[in-house]
Amino acid sequence: MTGEKTLINIKQLSKKYRTNVSKLIQAWRRGHSDLEISRSYRINLTTLRQIKADIELTHRRIRLEKRKEKFSDFYSSPQHHIFLRPFM
């Protein structure tokens, strides 16, 4: 994931949870635990876990969309369709 830009809207998440989400992400990348982050930034632990879950779900959706695009290109080739339906 080095050098890769994600499509997460950090400003929207920061507005939703009223905290600086980019600092939280940097703390997770440095290896800090959730408890340390919640104490240092004075965020409720459940709120921190909701932020983390939102970020993970967004990453998962992005990966699934990329995978769907990759396989849709493969399955849309005419050669593959002939192979699946040889009597058409």
pLDDT digits (tens, 9 = 90+) for 23-82: 999 999 999 999 999 999 999 999 999 999 999 999 899 888 888 887 776 665 555 555
Residue 5 lies in a domain: no
- The residue range of the domain holding 50 is 10-84
The confidence score (pLDDT) of residue 73 equals 65
Give the confidence band of 9 by pLDDT, cuts at 50, 70, 90: confident
Number of separate domains in the chain? 1
Give the confidence band of 5 by pLDDT, cuts at 50, 70, 90: low
Q: Which token pair is 46?
A: 């459940």
Q: Could you give the C-alpha distances from 70 to 50, 56, 59, 60, 63, in angstroms and in order?
A: 30, 21, 17, 15, 11
Residue 4 lies in a domain: no
Residue 50 lies in a domain: yes
Residue 2 lies in a domain: no
Can you tell me the distance from the alpha carbon of 7 to that of 40, in angstroms, rounded to the nearest whole number? Answer: 27
The confidence score (pLDDT) of residue 2 equals 47
Q: Compute and round to an integer the Cα radius of gyration of the chain.
A: 20
Residue 47 lies in a domain: yes
Residue 3 lies in a domain: no
